[in-house]
Amino acid sequence: MRQTGLDLRRRSIEIILANQTSSGAFIASPTFSQYGFCWVRDGAFIAHALDLAEEHGAAARFHDWMAEVVLARRVGLARAAEAGRRGDIPPVDYLHCRYSADAAESAVVWPAFQLDGPGIWLWSLGEHVVRGGRLTPRRAEAASLIADYLAALWSCPSYDAWEESPEHVHTSTVGAIAAGLRAAGGYLAHGPSAQRSAELAETADLIVRHLRTAAEAGYLPKWPGSGAVDGSLLWLGYPFGLFRLDDPIFATTIERIEAELVSAGGGVFRYLGDTYYGGGEWVLLTAALGSVYAARGAPGDSQKAVRCLEWIEAQADAEGLLPEQVAERALHPEWTHDWVRSWGPSARPLLWSHAAYLVLHGQLESARP
């Protein structure tokens, strides 16, 4: 790896910590008009990256913030879980995808009903505990509430990781839920929710069986019945570990992603029909593909992972800021102007991009002799 990689690692940590508020929330992008909030999904991935970078205190502050977000809504979440069993969830009760630093819901209309974020938080909290973090009583209570909520709602349609297509049950979303429930079934086994541990593990296993059934064509689809793949499916192999990286289903999914979503330059698109800011190459997905290569370790994977890392490093500007996406090879450039006119230039920096880079960089560093 180039020396610039080590510099960008330090700079990424600085940028993330500089944009963590005193409450523990991570502002998704401090300069982009629409991203001045903390997303549950982004924050959970960022906290995990900080744990891997030995910044455990910052990760702990996020988990405390998230626990308070959940506990302030305990009554509504319990109602939502009960309503979900009947298939009718009142909007006033579900957990929103993003909150302000002081844990308030945004008054701006947004595709708020997203189930992957809470699942990723349960998983991220588990990773924090594995690395020496505490499962405080409030974190445990919040995790138990979210686990019950997701166990009841996992098969409900919701917005996906890209905040689109709410009419579908998305493969990456239910995968995130399975990863979260599996993790929670482990760390809640020794707390007040011990009796729920086996049930959570059973629900996680049920979801994984559902994912295998949905892969009837031999690969993981964007949603059941879809002929498309999506870059977010990479997480189901790494870091969630729901599929072995050499599992035929996951291996075929990687092959589809490589063939359809990796640009000639090496960046990774979200999905072929993406028109958000023209549908550019996403830094965090390029890092996700690199992380899969680094974890899989098949012949040639190390070099592929390094190429992903180097592509990401080349997207950093003079201040070391990484963008959300790169429009140079956008899938649908005719859409770019309308987004820029509405919201301004796309996000830079995006904290999640820096977090994903840290994970990949750490994997490659640990693999060096």
146 vs 127: CA distance, rounded Å: 16
Of the candidates 51, 116, 313, 324, the residue annotated as catalytic is: 324
Can you read off the two tokens belonging to residue 190?
A: 């020794």
Q: State the DSSP string of 175-203.
A: HHHHHHHHHHHHHTTTSTTGGGHHHHHHH
Of the candidates 68, 160, 274, 313, the residue annotated as catalytic is: 160
Give the phi and the psi of residue 262 in degrees, each rounded to 5.
Answer: -95, 125
Q: Are 97 and 40 in contact (CB under 8 A)?
A: yes
Alpha helix (H) ranges present in the chain?
3-18, 40-52, 56-71, 74-86, 116-130, 137-153, 171-187, 197-214, 248-261, 283-296, 301-315, 336-343, 351-367
Tell me the β-bridge partners of 142. none
Can you read off the two tokens belonging to residue 305?
A: 């992972």
Q: Are 150 and 118 in contact (CB under 8 A)?
A: yes
Q: Are 101 and 21 in contact (CB under 8 A)?
A: yes
Give the phi and the psi of residue 355 in degrees, each rounded to 5.
Answer: -65, -45
Look-up: residue for tokens 């991009």? 353
Terminal Cα-to-Cα distance of the chain (whole angstroms): 13
Q: Is 163 a catalytic residue?
A: yes
Tell me the β-bridge partners of 105. 99
Tell me the β-bridge partners of 185. none
281 half-sphere exposure, CB direction, 13 A CA radius:
25
Q: How many CB atoms lie within 10 A of CB 259?
A: 9
Burial string for 82-91 (b: 16+ CB within 10 Å, else e) reads ebbeeeebee
Q: Is 160 a catalytic residue?
A: yes
Sign for the pseudo-dihedral over CA of 235, 240, 245, 248: negative
Of the candidates 163, 199, 205, 310, the residue annotated as catalytic is: 163
Q: Give Rg (Cα) of the chain.
A: 19
Beta strands 38-39 and 98-99: pairing type?
A: antiparallel
CA 202, distance to chain mean position in Å, is 23
Active site residues: 160, 163, 324
